[in-house]
Chain A
Amino acid sequence: MMGDLLTVRGLTLATPDKVLVEDLSFSIAPGERFGLIGESGSGKSLTSLAVTGLLEPSIRPAGSITLAGEEIIGAPEKRLVRMRGDAVATVFQEPLTALDPLMPLGRQIAGPVRRRLKRKGQDAGRAAVAREVQTLLEQVRLPEPERLIRSYPHEVSGGQRQRVAIAMALACQPRLLIADEPTTALDVTTQAEIVRLITALVEDLGIALLFISHDLAVVGQVAERVMVMRDGRSIETGPAQQVLTRPEDSYTRSLVAAARRFDQALEGQP
């Protein structure tokens, strides 16, 4: 357990009148790709917010979250600001709202780049930042970077926006990347590209991945290990291959069966 990048133990999230996540425990090793599966409202996104210390004040966390050796729950805001970006970065579901509508895309990527360079005490001048932005745009395979850095979010396609959001997250050079339903707002072909891109990038850069989705097929493609959540509780945890092909829990079985029926319906089989 000592070597783990993220360790969540007995995490319970509750508002004064409702328990939202109960007694959740899991861990992610450095460089590991971990999938969190569940229907909407199962507490997946809340869990990811808790990991970054961004819960609303009305939600009380209990238990323990250790990220890169530091306790998140109860940590002062100042320490959290330093950890965000350095230890963890997030890609959100809807790239249109996750990007500032009034800021050119290039400047949005440059922000975290500059912060990282300053924090590490490296040259954070205009040229150095521009070079890094250029590299990031190539890494997420965006065409026409010259035009793109001057564009506003509404001027580019959904897939391109999500690539920019990924570039912003990578700009922090985090050790853990949280991808919270990063493909849900995209069309199917774009989804596949983004999933491949995220998988390839975290593998190349040795970043651990917490991939959150309700889509079993997508999680199966990305994750090495998965956890299935329902109503704020963990139902089943294990290697992706095993959980998604030979599920032990009845709820997971019904999820897998439903996904299979859906696929068959799409392919026109009875």
Chain B
Amino acid sequence: MSAESTELPPRRRRGNATFWLGLILVGVIVLAGIVSFFWTPYALSDMAGGRLEAPSAAHWAGTDRLGRDLFTQLMIGARIALIVGCGAVAIGAVIGVATGILAAFATRFLDDALAAFFDILIAFPTLLIAMLVVAAREEASLGTAILALGIGLSPIVGRITRILTKQVLGQDYITAARVSGTSWGAIVYWHILPNIVPFLGVNLALQFGLAVMAEASLSYLGLGAPPPNASWGRMLQEAQGTVYTAPWGAVLPGLALFALVIGINLLADGLRDRFDPARRDG
């Protein structure tokens, strides 16, 4: 420990600051999402307020065109953003890591084929893939959106996993493990996964942010979770027509989206700085 703290004090401090800022941003949104299950200021479809009211003590974030409370919608939007982000990243990670490791281990032909496949899928816009999946399922639902975004993210995760795995495979400790008779399965579990996760984790956080934004885009296009679910993307779409008369309707969900995405990235960065015991490249 002592060697570590004398080594790089400035970077450590910076790591701490980003970590805490990220934790606070993400923490507030996660809290809002969890609380929304038990309590919201108003019911989602409760048209109690006047039309397009400005933020006030009664309606902390104002109201929309139908007089519904925007703060309630923001809280439920937080829940949906988190569910979509976690779900999409989980699906993307499982598919991506599995195919990425397969590609890294494969013979030259299969490896090339998978690498090309990843590249083609990446060049294909995630949103378009998501729209195709939604079209194929013939209905827009939260589950469809999660599945679609997860599939859309998987080639990015796959490509990074493939490269990281190849890097680790070239290390001496893999040769050392093989020399002592470790099977490939055990090498993947004990040596490859732990060594790619610190790098992959940061990227998955980035993907989480992209998934949340892509969900907002899908909802904006009417392909996300159907009403009455309030997603930040749908809030943006509904506020579109009144952005000049009631700007808070668009600004607040936009800010929430921004805070979540930047918070996740800072948190991931800070976590990597804290918990990567090797920090090989200083």
Chain A positions within 8 Å of B, measured between CB atoms, are 52, 54, 81-86, 88-90, 92, 94, 97-103, 111-112, 115, 152-155, 165, 168-169, 171-172
Report yes or no: A83 in contact with B176, Cβ–Cβ below 8 A.
no
5 closest A-B pairs by beta carbon, nearest first, are A85-B181, A101-B278, A84-B181, A97-B172, A90-B179
Report yes or no: B172 in contact with A103, Cβ–Cβ below 8 A.
no
Report yes or no: B190 in contact with A88, Cβ–Cβ below 8 A.
no
Q: Known interface pairs A101-B195, A102-B195, A152-B278. Does A82 touch B175 (Cβ–Cβ under 8 Å)?
A: no
> What's the tally of chain B residues with a CB closer than 8 Å to chain A?
25
A152 contacts across to B, CB distance below 8 A: 277-278
Report yes or no: B179 in contact with A101, Cβ–Cβ below 8 A.
no
Choose one: A94, A115, A165; the contact of B182 (CB below 8 Å). A115
- Closest residue of chain B to A178 (Cβ to Cβ) is B179
B190-204 vs A, Cβ < 8 Å mask (1 yes, 0 no): 110011001000000
Complex alpha-carbon distance, A198 and B179, angstroms: 18
5 new A-B pairs (CB below 8 Å) besides A90-B176, A102-B195?
Answer: A52-B179, A84-B178, A85-B180, A88-B179, A89-B180
Interface check B5, CB cutoff 8 A:
no
Choose one: A94, A102, A154, A172; the contact of B180 (CB below 8 Å). A172
Closest CB in chain B relative to A115 CB, distance in Å:
6
Report yes or no: A92 in contact with B180, Cβ–Cβ below 8 A.
no
Chain B positions within 8 Å of A, measured between CB atoms, are 1, 3-4, 171-173, 175-183, 186, 190-191, 194-195, 198, 276-278, 280
- Closest residue of chain A to B275 (Cβ to Cβ) is A102
- Closest residue of chain B to A112 (Cβ to Cβ) is B180
B178 contacts across to A, CB distance below 8 A: 54, 81, 84
A85 contacts across to B, CB distance below 8 A: 179-181
Complex alpha-carbon distance, A115 and B182, angstroms: 8
Report yes or no: A98 in contact with B181, Cβ–Cβ below 8 A.
no
Report yes or no: B195 in contact with A100, Cβ–Cβ below 8 A.
yes
Closest CB in chain A relative to B102 CB, distance in Å:
17
Report yes or no: B181 in contact with A103, Cβ–Cβ below 8 A.
no
